[in-house]
Structure 1
Amino acid sequence: MNPLPHGSAEGPTDGPADGPADGPPGGPSADLPTVAPRLRDLRRRSGLTLEAAAQRVGLSPAHLSRLETGRRQPSLPMLLTLARTYGTTVSDLLGEVAPERDPIVRADRMDAQEAGGWTYRQAGGSGRAMQALRLHVPERSAAQEDLVRVHPGEEWLYVLGGRLRLALGESVHLLSPGDAAHFDSLTPHRIAAASSGGVDLLFVHTLLQSGAAELCLGDAARGGRPGTP
């Protein structure tokens, strides 16, 4: 899948391939007021240069710089990518700090957030090795057009309503309510709604911590092979 690489297969160039991953250019969105400074802070605390971080995420340094300065708005898939890269969660990137590590997440605390046309609700606790989300993917969204992702880890999803088109490598699967998928995230993958009105999902993905990133990414984690997520 996905949210928020988890590098994408967009490649390291700063051309049209970077476009679908993020929202429209301009100043910081009211929906995402703290993402830019948090991205910059997390990268620096991880000891990564702009170039090294951009290579892990699968973007050009110029594109990542625009995200860090608020000149571009990240989509939910890109937020997932960045969260995995820095070993944190989308909620942390958005500045949502849980008052305590409560194992129970009540429905009235699952506030809806929107990024890149996708709507998500945090369905799990923060500071864990996995992140659980409830997602709504619209029938057509700039965030999902041609966005293929490849990254270490695993993903699990369950269709709540609507129909889902899931591309895994060369195979395309149509999932209906009640269907689920569990796959290795190193398999190139893309999700899209296959029904009018979009699709609603439960989605769980593993997060990369800094040590695991070095282990899983090998040379790429140290600025090696270009284009490797």
Structure 2
Amino acid sequence: MSDDFGAVLDAVGPRLRELRRRRGVTLTALSETTGIAISTLSRLESGQRKPGLELLLPLARAYQLPIEELIGAPADLDPRVYPQPFTHNGMTVVPLNRTPGGLQAFKHILPAGLADGRAAEPRSHEGYHWLYVLRGRLRVVLGDKDFVLGEGEVAEFDTHLPHWFGNADEHSVEFLSIFGPQGERVHIKASYRPDGAPPR
């Protein structure tokens, strides 16, 4: 282990304690948010527990900070993101950022024929979604609307509204998406309210 890296690790505990106190968060509240035992958090802050990813990831999500900022890593760290693609329902998803919590950016690749013979199955959940079509034609079912986005077109919507994506034709589709928690949006716009109340 290099001296610089060791120094970063040694400073993590006091840094986490100072961050928690500055945010006005108790160990009990932080434990409830992260699922980490109070005793473990206390030992981590006192330097008696080494900071591993299994602890740093939930803490980074709770504080909505990149891990390197959370631990005070040197500013000259490589800023490049090295995506780790995964497959979900036949679609390849490529994460494009590494910041836990907050806005999340992805590239989606729907292979040719993925939606052939599939009925749309719209689903809703917490959050707000923005998407941009890079290549191909994307069929979007949004509430009672069914439409197609072409290359260069953009859509954004509250994900409380049931939605579904698929190929609009026999070709593959690639699109970018930014997904954020409810209330954290790329643009400020009136939003769909599922209870029929006026937009906030």
TM-score (norm. length: structure 2): 0.48
Larger relative contact order (CA 8 Å, sep ≥ 6) = 1
Structure with max Cα Rg? 2
